[in-house]
């Protein structure tokens, strides 16, 4: 299981033995090694951790992924030429969302359209904006 549990019980696999033996990786790739790291890098920089290449990650991400995240943050003006957090970057780190969305929200305040952008950002962040209660699905449709 996810926590490495072992003991009595039943396991119902939802794939064939052939798929298990031939198509699946022996272990899953850690999330930090397979996702966009812009948010993670922004938070680490806000915590004062600037040398991310030599940082002691439990599962180090590929260096190119870290560089791509830093380039992305530089293009958003969250990092300066030396890779240090800017004043804007510090503000962006306060939002628990993707840095591009936090930059959009902060820019919207200056442009006077914060309410509209907050609505758009909120809708981007949820999987489904339509609520369909099980007992009233026909009515909801």
Count of the separate structural domains present in the chain: 1
Establish if 22 belongs to a structural domain.
no
Strand partners, 79: 85
Establish if 58 belongs to a structural domain.
yes
> What would the pLDDT profile of 92-114 be if each residue is shown by its tens digit?
999 999 999 999 999 999 999 99
Picking from 35, 124, 44, the residue whose alpha carbon sits closest to that of residue 90 is: 44
Q: What value does the mean pLDDT of the chain take?
A: 87
Predicted local confidence at residue 138, as pLDDT: 76
Q: What is the CATH number of the domain that holds 48?
A: 1.20.120.1080
pLDDT confidence band for 134 (50 / 70 / 90) = confident
Alpha helices in the chain (DSSP H): 17-22, 38-46, 63-75, 87-92, 99-111, 114-125, 137-140
In this structure, are residues 78 and 88 in contact, taking their beta carbons and an 8 Å threshold?
yes
Picking from 71, 72, 65, the residue whose alpha carbon sits closest to that of residue 100 is: 72
Establish if 100 belongs to a structural domain.
yes
> Phi and psi for 85 in degrees, rounded to 5?
-65, 135
Establish if 46 belongs to a structural domain.
yes
Q: Which residues contact 114 (CB under 8 A, 6 or more apart)?
A: 105, 108
Range of the domain at 119: 31-125
Strand partners, 85: 79
SS3 of 79, please?
Answer: strand
Compute the distance between CA of residue 128 and CA of residue 130 in angstroms, rounded to an integer: 6
Establish if 87 belongs to a structural domain.
yes
Establish if 86 belongs to a structural domain.
yes
**The model scores a pTM over 0.85:** no
In this structure, are residues 89 and 77 in contact, taking their beta carbons and an 8 Å threshold?
yes
Establish if 40 belongs to a structural domain.
yes
Establish if 65 belongs to a structural domain.
yes
């Amino acid at each position: 299981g996810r926590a490495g549990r072992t003991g009595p019980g039943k396991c119902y696999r939802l794939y064939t033995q052939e798929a298990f033996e031939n198509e699946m990786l022996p272990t899953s790739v850690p999330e930090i090694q397979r996702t966009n790291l812009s948010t993670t890098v922004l938070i680490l920089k806000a915590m004062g951790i600037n040398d991310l290449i030599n940082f002691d990650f439990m599962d180090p991400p590929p260096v190119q992924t870290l560089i791509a995240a830093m380039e992305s943050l530089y293009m958003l003006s969250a990092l300066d030429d030396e890779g240090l957090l800017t004043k804007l970057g510090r503000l962006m780190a306060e939002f628990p969302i993707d840095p591009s969305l936090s930059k959009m929200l902060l820019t919207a305040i200056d442009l006077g359209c914060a309410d509209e952008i907050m609505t758009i950002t909120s809708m981007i962040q949820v999987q489904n904006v339509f609520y369909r209660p099980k007992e009233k699905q026909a009515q909801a449709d």
